Amino acid sequence: MRVTVSGIGYVGLVTGVALSYIGHTVTCVDINEEKINMLKNGISPIYEPGLEELMSKVRNKINFTTDYKSAYSTSDVIIIGVGTPEREDGSANLDYVNSVCEQIAESLRKNCIVVLKSTVPIGTNDEIERKLNNEVKTSIKVYVVSNPEFLSQGTAIHDTLFASRIIVGTDDKYAASVMHKLYEPLTKEPYNVPYLLTSRKSAEMIKYASNDFLALKISYINEIANLCKSLGANIEEVSKGMGLDSRIGNSFLKAGIGYGGSCFPKDTKALHWLSTINRIELKTIKACIEVNETQKLILFNQLKKDLVDLHGKTIAVLGLTFKPNTDDLRDAPSIINIVNLLNSGANVKAYDPVGINNFKKIIKKIDMNNCYNLEFYESIDDAIKDTDAVMIMTEWPNIVNYDVAKYKKLMKVPRVYDGRNCYKLESMKDIIYFSIGR
């Protein structure tokens, strides 16, 4: 099948590479020439473990171009994977989706299936199908199918090939049969991915409801963790005990300093916005968002309580990305914490194995006048040397496996605020140690 994937971010690129791996001929289109040139040279513009290796395996079945006209005009299936970032009011911004649809409308020369993988408000697929069919020649028919994505950054290849499920939203028999053909290899050995056909609106809702449920689980466990701490229980034992109940499940019960990334913060706000304008406010999601905002500051507030005045203090921040195995910093808890530290007069020494360049871009946009108090380090030893406290934001393996004796050896005072519960309590006995829910 000839497939074009539009938008070369995490979703688009991984989808394109995975589809070519299972046998389709794929063209990836993006307006960003620099990205396309990197991809042509076998270099991934995003940090995703295993992606470049898979790209090299499929290089004869995939090509990258900015020439959207010829790509769209010859495709059987066009997959849209562009971003839908949040607007200030929390709603999803569909500008990228709309501009790709305009390009598709002007390029199509034959009937085509347009698959929307981007996360969009309920009803968007209907609207796009109506618009596209109005704009193309009357002899051409466009079928729009909702096909939400469930991959996580850092494990994106595995999450696509061995997906938890493939959701295909369409009421049209022809579109359903083409979609089945597209994904058939993944429904068989060795992948055996469950395949569910739904209406378009249900498929759109499955995406939001799934992401928001996971976010809710995190906010819930974070609140339980805070209560555990004040009552003397241990959240790790509690999560383990809860997770043994298969009705609850053991994933997404890891307490920490709150969720970040490009999905949960945006999708909780978008669903809350959508519910509010439909006058059925989702109170659980509202609470989930509020809990997360407070949780992000739990280390900072404790540090301030302990040290009273942060002015002139030197604080190391270990881990900048919103989670390990990605260079993505969107909505990462590290940002607000570093901004608060700098605004309180502290000097910050920041460490991350891959996220420093992206962090520099973000902090530049914030345009703070005390940025000169922020320095970046490529080694944990150098970052924590002579500091008054360490704050851990991301559970990168080299932070988790760090020799904790060095906190005592290298810091001015061994004082560690661990937002990801990286260490066993027994190993931190000689260190002033604050962790989550323990």
Q: How far is the CB of 276 from ligand UGA (least distance, A)?
A: 21
In three-state secondary structure terms, 412 is coil
Stretch 148-187: interaction string toward ligand UGA, x if CB under 6 A = -xxxxx----------------------------------
Residue 259, interface with ligand UGA (CB under 6 A)? yes
Per CB under 6 A, which region of 249-257, 283-291, 336-344, 348-356 contacts ligand UGA? 249-257
Q: Which stretch binds ligand UGA (CB under 6 A): 76-84, 183-191, 247-255, 299-307?
A: 247-255
39-68 as b/e, with b when 16 or more CB fall inside 10 Å?
beeeebbbbbeebeebbeebeeebbbbeeb
Q: Return the sign of the alpha-carbon dihedral for residues 88, 90, 96, 101.
A: negative
- Options 144-152, 170-178, 195-203, 274-282: segment touching ligand UGA (CB under 6 A): 144-152
Q: Tell me the closest approach of the beta carbon of residue 37 to ligand UGA, in angstroms.
A: 26
Report the 10 Å Cβ neighbour count for 289. 20
Question: What is the Cα–Cα distance from 35 to 65, expressed in whole angstroms?
Answer: 10
For the chain, report the end-to-end CA distance as a whole number of angstroms. 53
* Closer residue to ligand UGA in complex, CB, 259/417: 259
Among 9, 16, 83, 260, binds ligand UGA (CB under 6 A): 260
Which one from 228, 263, 288, 422 is the annotated catalytic residue?
Answer: 263
Closest by Cα among 409, 403, 249, 384 to 319? 384
Identify the DSSP state of 91: P
CB 81, min distance to ligand UGA, A = 10
Query: Letter for the amino acid at 405?
Result: A
Q: What token pair was written down for 140?
A: 């051409």
> Taking CB under 6 A as the rule, does residue 195 contact ligand UGA?
no
Member of 81, 261, 355, 419 binding ligand UGA (CB under 6 A): 261
CB of 207 to ligand UGA, least distance (A): 7
396 makes contact with ligand UGA (CB under 6 A): no
Number of residues that bind ligand UGA (CB under 6 A): 20
**Which pair of structure tokens corresponds to residue 388?**
């008054």
Exactly one of 35, 117, 200, 254 binds ligand UGA (CB under 6 A); which one? 254
User: Residue 263 interacts with ligand UGA (CB under 6 A)?
Assistant: yes
Stretch that binds ligand UGA, among 21-29, 110-118, 250-258, 285-293 (CB under 6 A): 250-258
Q: Mask 314-333, x = binds ligand UGA (CB under 6 A)?
A: --------xx----------
Number of Cα atoms under 13 Å in the Cβ half of residue 262: 18
Locus of tokens 């034992």: 237
Which of 64, 68, 208, 264 binds ligand UGA (CB under 6 A)? It is 264
CA distances from 83 to 9, 53, 89, 92 (A): 8, 25, 17, 9
Q: What is the DSSP string of 399-426?
A: HHTS-THHHHHHSSS-EEEETT--S-GG
Stretch of 97-105, 146-154, 180-188, 224-232 contacting ligand UGA, by CB under 6 A: 146-154
Q: How far is CA 346 from the centre of its chain?
A: 30
Per DSSP, the residues of 304-320 read HHHHS--TT-EEEEE--
Our finding on whether 81 is near ligand UGA (CB under 6 A) is no
* Among 91-99, 253-261, 284-292, 424-432, the segment contacting ligand UGA (CB under 6 A): 253-261
State in angstroms the smallest separation of the CB of 213 from ligand UGA: 10
What crossing angle do the helices spanning 283-295 and 264-277 adopt, rounded to 10°?
A: 150
Per-residue binding string, ligand UGA, 276-315, x by CB under 6 A, is ----------------------------------------
- Annotate 212-225 with three-state secondary structure: HHHHHHHHHHHHHH
Cβ proximity to ligand UGA: between 200 and 323 the closer is 323
Structure token digits, residue 70: 């010829």
**Backbone conformation region of residue 179, classed left if phi is above 0, alpha if psi is from -120 to 50, else beta:** alpha
263 is an active site residue: yes
The contacts of residue 199 (CB under 8 Å, 6+ apart) are 169, 170, 171
Q: Quick check: 218 binds ligand UGA (CB under 6 A)?
A: yes
* 350 DSSP β-pair partners: 317, 376
Binding mask 119-138 for ligand UGA (x = CB under 6 A): x-------------------
C-alpha span between 119 and 97 (Å, rounded): 10
Which residues would be at the binding site for ligand UGA (CB under 6 A)?
Answer: 119, 149-153, 211, 214, 218, 252-254, 256, 259-261, 263-264, 322-323
